Amino acid sequence: MAEPSELARLEARLFRLVAQPAPVDEAARALAAEDPGAHPLAAWIAGGDEARAVERLTIYANQYFVRHRDALGEIFAGCAAFAGQAAFDACVAAYLGVERLRGPSLDEAGDAFAAFLEREAGARGLRADLGSLAALERARREAFVGADAPPLRRDELARLPADDWPALRLALVPCARLVATSHAVEALWLAHDRGLGPPEVVARAGMLAVWRRGPSVYHRALAPDEASALARIEARAPFAEVCEPFDEPEHALELLAQWLADELLAAPIG
């Protein structure tokens, strides 16, 4: 494998110093243990002296943090509100320090934030349900910007011969998400949406469906049998397998009617 060019080494060094929460001069000293050219900064950053080099690099580091903090604060507005600005900023700084953010869009910066909060919220003295709230907020964002697709209509199913139903493979609309949560978050999300005080923390594992119908995004909690059925639809299992979680066939048909009304299923069927 070819050695990286000098420009590539400088770019990697710059990114490592900018995308971390410590003061840049302190981080450069630590980095010098594995990259001897990293310190002093004035040796590779134009500016005239060390103080000026630190000042110039700090501008980039601050902008990196601020832009990501603002982007994450928009996506995870409820988490920011319930954590408080100072605690949220500290979480973002820690998150940027441990995650390798390589996507070209700031919208992708939050891909691992829910998992980070799930691990870190309790240790940081934050609500234990913020990880689940972040997962919901992320899914709602993805549903809002997700691809459009025509929904499956009842008359399309009505034309299907009865013998074809067991092998029928339904599909969720592209913007739909199934979100696993460790805490009940519907009331927490609603409290933020309506500007209310936070409810009590309720540890309860569950699954949410999140999707867009027209210009509006919806979500609702799923009972275990419905969650299992929708997961099978997401995996493109045949309809006979989709029905297996239900004790009564009538319940499967009732939920199918609900999914059609919600515009949760995509056309065409196959």
When pLDDT is averaged across residues 88-92 and rounded to a whole number, the result is: 91
When pLDDT is averaged across residues 241-255 and rounded to a whole number, the result is: 93
CA distances from residue 265 to 3, 154, 257 in whole angstroms, order as listed: 50, 11, 10
Neighbours of 122 (CB within 10 A): 13
pLDDT in tens, 95-146: 887 776 656 667 788 899 999 999 999 999 999 999 999 999 999 999 999 9
Report whether pLDDT(227) > 60: yes
233 vs 249, more confident:
233
Residues 6+ apart with CB under 8 A from 44: 10, 13, 37, 38
Task: Choose among 146, 60, 78, 64: nearest CA to 109.
Answer: 64
Is the distance from CB of 212 to CB of 144 less than 8 angstroms? yes
pLDDT in tens, 47-73: 778 999 999 999 988 888 888 899 999
Location of structure tokens 């999707």? 211
Same domain, 177 and 230: yes
Picking from 93, 126, 159, the residue at the C-terminal end of a domain is 126
What's residue 102's pLDDT?
59
Give the rounded percent of residues in the chain with a pLDDT score beyond 70: 96
Picking from 64, 93, 126, the residue at the C-terminal end of a domain is 126
Same domain, 116 and 77: yes
Report whether pLDDT(167) > 60: yes
Q: Looking at beta carbons, which pairs linking 12-17 to residues 24 or more positions away fall under 8 Å?
A: 13/37, 13/38, 13/44, 14/57, 14/60, 17/57, 17/61
Is the distance from CB of 68 to CB of 92 less than 8 angstroms? yes
List, edge to edge, every strand of the sheet that includes 177-183. Answer: 177-183, 203-213, 216-222
The tokens of 96 are what? 């940027």
Determine, yes or no, domain membership for 139: no
What's residue 17's pLDDT?
87
What's residue 46's pLDDT?
85
User: Per the structure, how many domains does the chain have?
Assistant: 2
Same domain, 108 and 168: no
Report whether pLDDT(215) > 60: yes
**Cα(126)–Cα(145) distance, rounded to whole angstroms?**
29
User: Residue 197 in 3-state DSSP?
Assistant: coil
When pLDDT is averaged across residues 214-241 and rounded to a whole number, the result is: 97
What's residue 100's pLDDT?
64
What's residue 87's pLDDT?
95
Same domain, 121 and 154: no
What's residue 3's pLDDT?
64
Determine, yes or no, domain membership for 137: no
Same domain, 218 and 105: no
The tokens of 170 are what? 């339904």
Determine, yes or no, domain membership for 144: no
Same domain, 209 and 106: no
* Backbone dihedral angles phi then psi of residue 21, each to the nearest 5 degrees: -85, -15
Determine, yes or no, domain membership for 51: yes
Same domain, 167 and 84: no
Same domain, 248 and 202: yes
Same domain, 18 and 106: yes
Determine, yes or no, domain membership for 159: yes
Is the distance from CB of 255 to CB of 239 less than 8 angstroms? no
Same domain, 73 and 4: yes
pTM of the model: 0.84
Same domain, 105 and 174: no
Determine, yes or no, domain membership for 132: no
Range of the domain at 258: 149-270
Determine, yes or no, domain membership for 38: yes
Same domain, 159 and 116: no
**Residue 217 belongs to domain with CATH number:** 3.90.930.50
**Cα(13)–Cα(32) distance, rounded to whole angstroms?**
10
Q: What is the mean pLDDT of the chain?
A: 91
**Cα(215)–Cα(139) distance, rounded to whole angstroms?**
15
pLDDT in tens, 23-40: 899 989 999 999 999 999
Determine, yes or no, domain membership for 143: no
When pLDDT is averaged across residues 225-249 and rounded to a whole number, the result is: 96
Is the distance from CB of 143 to CB of 212 less than 8 angstroms? yes
Is the distance from CB of 187 to CB of 132 less than 8 angstroms? no
Is the distance from CB of 230 to CB of 237 less than 8 angstroms? no
